[in-house]
Amino acid sequence: MNKKGILSTLLTIVFLTILMSILTIPASADVGDAFIKGRVLSYNPSIITNVKLLQNNIELDTQALPSTATSGQVPQDFSFDNLAPGTYSLIITKDVHTKFTLNNVLIDEDGLDLTKDPRNAIKCLTLLCGDLDNDGIIDAKDLNTVWSSLNYGKRTSDAEEPRCDLNGDGVIDAKDLNIVWSSENYGKRDVVIEYSAPGYLISITNLRTTDVGTNEVTTTVTASKDGIVYWVLLDSNSATPSADQIIAGRTSAGTIAYRCGDINVYGGIAKTFVIAGIDEETSYKLCAVAVESNGDRSDVCFCYFTTTSAANNWLTSISTPSGSNLTSTTAMATASFSNSGVLSANKKRVV
């Protein structure tokens, strides 16, 4: 082969090599200036916490959060940088904790800092602790493992199952047992949250009394999205509780509310419930807050009514106090009233 032929062959090989290298670069390898930052809360930071970043079910990167010598429940931060705008998922795993998945995380060129999200469930991604058998649920099997005489009351080095030292303080004791037994963990499974940007949040669009009797009241509530409406019934002169206090069935002073409860709601569909066993000829204040599955909360709404022997159905006012725990500037439409006591209010939009 002459020199010209050799040169032509070499150029062909170089061209094909470059072409193949371009074609084999996956789309997920695109880089940019975007980022995803977040915070994980879990027990025993001496155990490695793994945070996986995925796109289209393809794992792009994994971060092993650094371990420390401290014990207890500790927050740890993570950050994935140099990302292209797009939709991602986060999967967080840690031994003796259930898996945490955050799907549909949409980022633009400015990136996304989850720690600045107004929703507590997103602001700090909390892992549930106590899944000792790694079956995806914290249950009696896990509780009994901690309580076993082979583990309970022993130092970690002497226990048959040293992983029962859930908080990492070197001894398996009541603190570890209570972690499993706590309402935050016991009976809970792997956590999956479908992320949505905090734009149009859930709101209570309709709250009214439809039948006021001497010892009970029928109430109708409508929310803009699927979720749970929590309510408390108070004396009409009571101060308005916070959202957290209403969810806990408490007054603004932290005492137990006169009556409290919750009801599942579906976006745009009116739901009715009855509050019974209340006093006749008494003025009451009904306070409510709607909570979406991802942690979004409405502003607190309230109305007044008075029980009488002849049913009167007058809703005298509703208010959304300033200082809502949802933060950011809000724009609210004015509420309108009718003689039947019906309230209509438009959606709240975070701007």
Ranges in the chain annotated CATH 2.60.40.4070: 204-350
Domain 28-130+189-194 coded CATH 2.60.40.10: yes
Q: Model confidence at 315, in pLDDT bands (50, 70, 90)?
A: very low
- In this model, does residue 288 exceed pLDDT 70? yes
Euclidean distance between CA atoms 343 and 335, whole angstroms: 7
- In this model, does residue 148 exceed pLDDT 80? yes
pLDDT in tens, 60-108: 999 999 777 688 999 999 999 999 999 999 999 999 999 999 999 999 9
Ranges in the chain annotated CATH 2.60.40.10: 28-130+189-194
- pLDDT at residue 200, as a whole number: 57
Mean pLDDT of the region 305-334: 45
pLDDT in tens, 328-344: 323 333 333 333 333 33
CA distances from residue 20 to 29, 230, 262, 268 in whole angstroms, order as listed: 15, 59, 60, 54
Q: Model confidence at 245, in pLDDT bands (50, 70, 90)?
A: very high
Q: Model confidence at 2, in pLDDT bands (50, 70, 90)?
A: low
pLDDT in tens, 188-232: 999 988 887 765 568 888 888 888 888 999 999 999 889 999 999
Could you tell me the fold of the domain covering 204-350?
Immunoglobulin-like (2.60.40)
- In this model, does residue 38 exceed pLDDT 80? yes
Q: Which amino acid, residue 284?
A: Y
Query: Judging by beta carbons within 10 Å of its beta carbon (0-12, 13-18, 19+), is residue 339 exposed, middle or buried?
Result: exposed
- pLDDT at residue 61, as a whole number: 96
Q: Which amino acid, residue 32?
A: G
- In this model, does residue 25 exceed pLDDT 70? no
